[in-house]
Amino acid sequence: MNTPENKQSEKVNRRDAIKTLFTLAAAYTATGCKRDADALRSFFQTNFREMSPEQLASTVERWERRYEKRFDREVKVSTTPPQEDVLFGYALDVSRCIGCRRCVYACVEENNQSRDPQIHWIQVLEMDKAKGIDLMHADAYYDAEEVPQEDKFYFPVQCQQCENPPCVKSCPVGATWKEPDGIVVIDYDWCVGCRCCVTACPYGARHFNWTKPSLPVNQLNPDTEYLGNRPRPQGVVEKCTFCLQRARKGRYPACVEVCPVGARKFGNLLDPKGEIRYILENHRIYILKEELNTQPKFFYYFSI
């Protein structure tokens, strides 16, 4: 029977259980059992946005320790904040893209995606020049000996960093959000793997780790960001972040840097003298799936 006395007993038991867990955490730390203490701290870890500076420092230290043990080398995990008066935007010159996919693999190397199974944050679509932009009949798995093919053109797609992101609205636990500099990020430790965001994204830009990601030690990029390219576990969603580990330090994303024909442009949309603003003001701009009102900050244009 659920009497008042039983309810009081239940409350006491729950309180005692929580107190015991905290006591165990303190005891493990005091006795040097860092592995067990880390597991307990992870259990009580809060969302990235709710952490105090002390909690964030402790969490970063814990992850660096885990990665060092997993890869047997030093791994740096940074938490670089957004810069003031910066709103990142991206422009892609479709008429210059040659479909070489160097951007795809530069992204993989920079952002520590799984090698087996392969996860690509950038997808290059091959289309017929005769048909124009036709997503329904585009070929994402073209395997030509040479590119570009004379009768084809190429249309890369990745996260559009929407100003009105449906993926953020769909997350039931607040594990993904839009940063002040416009980059949509994911707290991998807070993601519950429900894949609502994968379904909500109209660009196919979110990717779920169905199995444990495979990342060889000699292919690891050890310079990582907490909300960016740090290695992800099985069961969470990941996506492009405009290489925030580079962008917030004044560098181009890896895909921009590697493009051999200069088809990719990146910069601050709030800078009236910036290249990205010049492109937006002097070219006819195409927005992917504009009718959905997602308001991408990823723009397509033709310069030739």
What CATH number is given to the structural domain containing 149? 3.30.70.20
pLDDT tens track for 118-157: 999 999 999 999 999 999 999 999 999 999 999 999 999 9
CA–CA gap between residue 3 and residue 103 (Å, rounded): 65
**Domain, as residue range, for 227:** 81-303
Encode burial over 55-64: b for 16+ CB neighbours within 10 A, e otherwise: eeeebbebbb
Residue 170 lies inside a defined structural domain of this protein: yes
DSSP codes joined into one string, 149-210:
-TTEEEEEE-----SS-HHHHH-SS--EEE-TTS-EEE-TTT-----HHHHH-TT---EE--
Mean pLDDT of 296-300: 98
Whether the bond into 148 is cis, omega within 30 of 0: yes
Mean pLDDT of 176-201: 98
pLDDT tens track for 209-226: 999 999 999 999 999 999
Overall domain count for the chain: 1
Q: Tell me the pairing of strands 207-208 and 237-238.
A: antiparallel
Residue 151 lies inside a defined structural domain of this protein: yes
Contacts of 183 (CB under 8 A, 6+ apart): 82, 88, 161, 241, 242, 244, 247
User: Does residue 268 contact residue 82 with C-beta atoms inside 8 Å?
Assistant: no
pLDDT > 90? residue 236 = yes
Residue 73 lies inside a defined structural domain of this protein: no
pLDDT > 50? residue 116 = yes
pLDDT > 80? residue 11 = no
Mean predicted lDDT score pLDDT of the chain: 91
Residue 9 lies inside a defined structural domain of this protein: no
HEC states along 232-282?
A: CCCCCEECCCCCHHHHCCCCCCHHHHHCCCCCEEEEECCCCCCHHHHHHHH
Can you give the pLDDT at residue 46? 86
Mean pLDDT of 251-263: 98
Residue 44 lies inside a defined structural domain of this protein: no
Amino acid at 199: T
Residue 155 lies inside a defined structural domain of this protein: yes
* Size of the chain in residues: 304
With cut-offs at 50, 70 and 90, classify the pLDDT of residue 1: very low
User: Does residue 88 contact residue 299 with C-beta atoms inside 8 Å?
Assistant: no
With cut-offs at 50, 70 and 90, classify the pLDDT of residue 304: confident
User: Does residue 288 contact residue 205 with C-beta atoms inside 8 Å?
Assistant: no
Name 266's bridge partners.
90
Residue 60 lies inside a defined structural domain of this protein: no
With cut-offs at 50, 70 and 90, classify the pLDDT of residue 12: very low
Residue 195 lies inside a defined structural domain of this protein: yes
What's this model's pTM, rounded to 2 decimal places?
A: 0.86
Angle at 97 between CA 93 and CA 103, to 5 degrees: 105
Mean pLDDT of 68-75: 96
Can you give the pLDDT at residue 293? 98
Count CA atoms closer than 13 A to 210's CA, side-chain side: 5
Mean pLDDT of 7-32: 51
Token pair 């997602």 is found at 294
